[in-house]
Structure 1
Amino acid sequence: MCRWIAYSGTPVLLSRVLFEPAHSLIDQSLHSRMGVETTNGDGFGIGWYAQEAAGTPAVLRDVGPAWNNRNLREVAHHVRSGLFFAHIRAATGTAVQQSNCHPFRSGRWMWMHNGMINGFRLLRRDLALAVDPVLYPDIEGSTDSELMFFLALTFGLTEDPPGAVARMAGLIERTGQAHDVRHPLQMTVAVADGERVWAFRHSSEGRSRSLYYSTEVETLRALHPDAEYLRDISDTTRLVVSEPLGDLPGAWNEVPENSFGIIQPGQDVLHAFRPDLR
């Protein structure tokens, strides 16, 4: 499938997260431990917010593998951000092309996905017809992931992200059932608006792809007082990842099945998630 990282907290060079950890996303592009595929080399993308850009994220995507891309390395060692996404792709039936690489963007919103819509070729037309006609011309690629994003936008993502994702997931479940597709949806999704990050873990079969969030920094400092890099980041810094970036004891927690979390100013929260089947 794919692997991804969402970072929120102290502004850092992207390279500190993408390249430096022992099991960084770049390492995962070649040696994933928890993904369906060991190698994720069908393109990559990064998206980041900068204060001077008035909330609109920049996006860099390419069809080559992340492990040897010079542009990615160059940008990552010179761009600093307090909220960014990174994604490495393992294609599941759609073309390896730039418009199919994550993250996807609409205005200030970013979206990335790991998983798939089972039977997508059967369901695609019905799902596409549900996209708001005003939004439909902005779809650039052919992936189920991008279509999921535009369905969520259609269902009110910008006003109510959890409700919109629940309605999107419910439509996929209902459409899959109508076409006799067993277990239509498999997803871990991250979405951001420049201030908050929402992360979802759900699958029709109840066996979702791996997803973890980092332990609170204050707790990690108490557990590992000699870890120098923990001194340079704020207590509010948090990561959500497809698989842990290292083996530091106590650093990573599995996101529960069928749940979503919100990383936001103040208190982060974790809730149960259910598709809206109405």
Structure 2
Amino acid sequence: MCRWAAYRGNPLYLEELVSSPAHSLIEQSHCASRAKTATNGDGFGIAWYGDHPEPGRYRDILPAWSDCNLRSLARQIRSPLFLAHVRAATSGGTRRDNCHPFVFGPWSFMHNGQVAGFDKIRRKLEAHLSDELFHARSGTTDSELLFLLSLEMGMAKDPIGAVSRAIALVQKHAAEEGANPLVRFTAAFSDGKSLYAVRYASDQKPPTLYAAPMGPRGGYCLVSEPLNDDVDAWTEIPAGSAVLVTDDGLLTSAFSPAPFAKAA
């Protein structure tokens, strides 16, 4: 399982999530405390928003703790909205285009979880992609394909609904193939304006997700596990939840896969 952190609010330096806290994302890359695997050394990535609609991105296959550039970049880059991820591979080899976050246009996406029997249904899932999105796929992970399926299902107009439809499609094809339709999915994604997250698992055992206020005037941080020992500051997001962070603060709602129907 992977670890990730995301932020939306007034601009902060990336180091305030990535490297400075006592239990920063870099610390979690070799000493995670709330994951099945303590080490997340199969690469890392960051995506951040600035003056352009599309996000900047930096990824590498080195473990986050050993990359000589990551701490320097995190100390210099200041952004109102960013995603950061350290990877423990469950699907796809250790290569740069399998490292999160994935991006397409203004969208960025990162995921912690797995799709059981992914190899049995990958081809059927890819068949749902338009030519544009099929050719945008550069890696081999279930995470990237879930992102592209969500885009195909109407993420631009209905982000949470699109993810719901994409997960329903995965479970539908898994059941048809006689595979275990197990999906564990804790993900964050953004269009550069709002920050979204989903925590869901078909077996009721989703990867962890926590939220806490951060920065001045209504900023929020979403993380796989708390960045410090101030337990009162962090709220665990319940399983089967969707999260939306906007200028109005953090809102949660119930989440479940919708019956598959391609968005208009």
- Shorter-chain TM-score: what band? over 0.9
Question: Which amino acid counterpart does residue 193 of structure 2 have in structure 1?
Answer: E
Which residue in 2 is equivalent to 1:243? Answer: 225
1:38-187 to 2 correspondence within 5 Å?
A: 38-50=38-50, 52-53=51-52, 55-187=53-185
In 2, distance between residues paired with 1:202 and 1:117? 12
Give the secondary-structure state (helix, strand or coil) at the position aligned to 2:128. Answer: coil
Q: State the 1:170 CA deviation.
A: 0.4
Quick one: which of 191, 203, 206 aligns to 1:205?
Answer: 203
Could you tell me how far apart the structure 1 residues matched to 2:137 and 2:168 are? 21
- What percentage of residue pairs aligned between the two structures are identical? 40
1:181 deviates by: 2.1
> Within 1, Cα distance between the matches of 2:113 and 2:91?
12
Tell me the TM-score normalized by structure 2.
0.96
Q: Which residue of 1 aligns with 2:18?
A: 18
Give me the whole-angstrom Cα distance separating, in 2, the residues matched to 1:270 and 1:16: 24
Indicate conservation of the 8 Å contact 1:183/1:203, yes or no: no
Shifted more, 5-14 versus 61-70: the winner is 5-14
Classify the secondary structure of the residue corresponding to 1:275.
coil
Cα deviation, residue 9, structure 1: 1.2
Q: Which amino acid in 1 is paired with 2:49?
A: Y
Structure 1 residues 252 and 184, CA gap change in structure 2 (3 angstroms)? same
Kept in 2: contact 1:173–1:277 (CA 8 A): no
SS at match of 2:8: strand
Residue 221 of structure 1 corresponds to which residue in structure 2? none
Normalised to the residue count of structure 1, the TM-score between the two structures is 0.91
Alpha-carbon distance in structure 2 between the residues aligned to 1:259 and 1:180: 28
Q: Deviations 1:211-265 (Å, cap 9, x if unpaired)?
A: 1111x46xxxxxxxxxxxxxxx312110000001111141101111111110011
| Number of aligned residues | 260
Structure 2 unmatched runs, 5+: none
- 1:125-158, CA deviations, whole angstroms, 9 ceiling, x for partnerless residues? 1111111222110111000000000000000001
Q: Which amino acid aligns with 1:14?
A: L
Measured against aligned partners, the alpha-carbon deviations of 1:157-180 in whole angstroms (never above 9, x if no partner) come to 011001100100100111111122
The answer to whether structure 1 residue 270 and structure 2 residue 252 are counterparts is: yes
Q: Identify the residue that residue 31 of structure 2 maps to in structure 1.
A: 31
Any conservation in 2 of the 1:183–1:205 contact (CA below 8 Å)? no
Distance in 1, Cα, partners of 2:39 & 2:169: 31
Amino acid in the other structure paired with 1:81: S
| Residues 172 and 184, structure 1, Cα contact 8 Å, conserved in 2 | no
* Cα distance in structure 2, aligned partners of 1:114 and 1:148: 12
The structure whose Rg is larger is 1
| Matching residue within 221, 232, 236 for 1:254 | 236
